[in-house]
């Protein structure tokens, strides 16, 4: 392949990756707890065409030589962990994580995973689960006769049951 076309090909692939990452970020702009990505690139090795001090014509020399770039490649995609907008939902079970940290959830296959999605609800058994239905770990079960459930700013889950004056 002609070298110039190869270099152009690597640039096109890098820009395609960049556009894919941006598209994913835009598609998830309203996803609770989503953290955007950023593509990271690096240049490929340079080809030495002429060494430093090489003669370029009968009377001149190239003081810095002649190097040609051979393209670019994607080396990583990084998560950008900046805090997004915190929205009041009116759901007493919803939480927002400020700063570092993740919620631990139990996946259907039994493995533990981590999420920043604080949109919680109670499942049919009274367990606190994410909007996707994953059980929060350690598991929290709210009594079926609870009249109200709240999550404090310290993360403590409280339930008020009939016959008691305090959660």
C-alpha dist (Å) from residue 7 to 14, 16, 43: 11, 14, 10
Q: What is the pLDDT of residue 85?
A: 78
End residue of a domain, out of 38, 54, 79: 79
CA dihedral 15, 16, 22, 23 (to 10 degrees): 160
Residue 63 backbone dihedrals phi, psi, to 5 degrees: -65, -30
Q: What is the pLDDT of residue 53?
A: 64
3-state DSSP percent of the chain in helix, strand and coil, to 5: 15, 35, 50
**DSSP β-bridge partners for residue 42:** 73
End residue of a domain, out of 23, 50, 79: 79
CA pair distance 1, 3, nearest whole angstrom: 6
Residues 167 and 91 in one domain: yes
Predicted TM-score of the model (pTM): 0.64
Helix spans in the chain (H): 3-27
The H or E element that residue 79 is part of is: strand 72-79
End residue of a domain, out of 79, 99, 120: 79
CA pair distance 16, 22, nearest whole angstrom: 10
Q: What is the pLDDT of residues 7-60, one digit of tens each?
A: 999 999 999 999 999 999 999 988 888 889 999 999 887 777 677 766 667 777
Domain count, the chain: 2
Q: Whole domain around residue 60: which residue ranges?
A: 3-79
Residues 49 and 109 in one domain: no
């Amino acid at each position: 392949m002609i070298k110039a076309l190869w270099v152009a090909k690597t640039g096109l692939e890098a820009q395609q990756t960049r556009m894919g990452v941006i598209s994913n970020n835009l598609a998830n702009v309203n996803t609770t707890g989503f953290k955007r990505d950023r593509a990271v690139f690096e240049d490929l090795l340079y080809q030495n065409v002429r060494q430093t001090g090489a003669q370029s014509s009968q009377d001149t020399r190239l003081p810095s030589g002649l190097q040609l770039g051979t393209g670019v490649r994607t080396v990583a995609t990084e998560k950008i962990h900046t805090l997004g907008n915190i929205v009041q939902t009116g759901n007493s079970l919803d939480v927002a994580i400020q700063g570092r940290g993740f919620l631990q959830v139990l996946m259907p296959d039994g493995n533990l995973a981590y999420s920043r999605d604080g949109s919680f609800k109670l499942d049919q058994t009274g367990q606190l689960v994410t909007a996707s239905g994953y059980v929060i770990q350690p598991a929290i079960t709210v009594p079926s006769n609870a009249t109200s459930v709240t999550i404090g700013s310290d993360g403590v889950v409280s339930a008020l049951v009939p016959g008691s004056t305090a959660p």
